[in-house]
Chain A
Amino acid sequence: MKLEFSGSRALILGGSCDLAVCLAEAMIKVNLLPILTYRDENGYKKISNHLSSFAGKYETVYLDFADIASLDALFCKIKDDLDFMVDFAQGDIEGLIASANQDDISRYFEQNISFRAKILKKAGRAMLKKKRGRLVFISSSAAGKPNPGQGFYAAAKLASEALYKNLGLELGSRGITTVTLRPGYIDTGRGKAYMQGREKEVLRLVPTRKAITAKEVTDTVLFFLSKSAAGFNAVEIAMDGGLTAGKCLK
């Protein structure tokens, strides 16, 4: 299926993660312009190395979820010119709720929920100028079915899903729509690290007995950005091989 797109400028939040750089490469191949965010020198280098053969076909911009000035600077730099946004950004926090450090709790939610709401405000207003726009939030199967120790992560994902859903509800009539994708176990990034050494045990919980590949995720995101997926709005979609559909199989 040949995908068609309304617009070309795609902001990718959390642009230095494995999935983001894979998506950027796939976007370039269908003539979209990925604009990847990075928060430190390592992230910038990772993007540059992965996309070294695509010089001039992508852009990078600094964004730190702990630095509100970087958000203003980002939208200034891209001149509010935005057609798509894909959000991979997510701070990592693991720990039991009853043992968490209080400052860490406040900081985590400020960065992963409040800051995201501020991004959505800016992106929504930028897209209103064009009266079109599509935003895809990469959530996680942990949003619905967290493991012990994932309480804060799950809470931030659920809150972010709610923000995306409401943006799609509120601006859908103006051509701005949202989709949330909830991937399950992915064979890249944090998912790969989690499965290391216990792949069989983990995948026994998945009806298809397979991890999701990075290509499957990027193909799906591209589809959701395309005109073909215009009917999806303000919705969460699981992409987990059936992991969260029923009781554990074992």
Chain B
Amino acid sequence: MDILKKVKEILAEILDIDEEEIAPETYLIRDLNAESIDLLELAVALNSAFNIKINDDEIFLRNLRPYLTEAKEKQADEVAYLLGNFPFLTKDRITQILGDLQGGPVLKVKDLVSYVAWMGKTG
């Protein structure tokens, strides 16, 4: 199954927008104004569509900032620490996120795709 295509289809339905408005680099909250109830619906829909367990905190990067605080407290490398907690993201993506924190919520469509692909492999 084309994961991106399905994710776009689901997002379009939940947010009542055209699929053309959604790309891998689209921010869910900054660009699409997704609210917490939309993310909950999204988690349920992804669970149904791909038959995978969804951990809402992980897929929506909810604990990103607390993890960064923990990394600082432990004097750990931030990229490595986040990679350990979000194993479905690449090192490049984590680096990108760290440079993007000032702009607001960093979650992008491609992060959902990465999560689904990773869960599909690891179960």
Contact = CB atoms under 8 A, between A and B. Distances in A.
Query: Interface on chain B toward A: helix, strand, loop, or mixed SS?
Result: helix
A171 B37 CA distance: 8
Interface in A168-205: 170-171, 173-174
B48 interface: yes
A129 interface: yes
A125 B44 contact: yes
Interface string B35-49: 001001101110110
A158 B43 CA distance: 29
Contact of A173 (B37, B43, B45, B47): B37
A88 to B, nearest CB: 26
A173 B44 CA distance: 16
Which bracket fits the contact residues of B? Answer: under 10
A170 B40 CA distance: 10
A26 interface: no
A128 interface: yes
B48 A129 contact: yes
A130 to B, nearest CB: 10
A174 B44 CA distance: 13
A170 B38 CA distance: 11
B37 A174 contact: yes
- Chain A CB within 10 A, most for which of B40, B41, B44: B44
Nearest to A124: B40
Contacts of B40: 125, 128
A173 B45 CA distance: 16
Contacts of B45: 129
A170 B39 CA distance: 13
Contacts of B41: 128, 174
B37 A129 contact: no
Contacts of A171: 37
Interface string A8-48: 00000000000000000000000000000000000000000
Given A125-B40, A129-B48, A174-B37, 8 more contacts: A125-B43, A125-B44, A128-B40, A128-B44, A129-B45, A170-B37, A171-B37, A174-B41
Interface of A: 125, 128-129, 170-171, 173-174
15 contacts: A125-B40, A125-B43, A125-B44, A125-B47, A128-B40, A128-B41, A128-B44, A129-B44, A129-B45, A129-B48, A170-B37, A171-B37, A173-B37, A174-B37, A174-B41
Interface of B: 37, 40-41, 43-45, 47-48
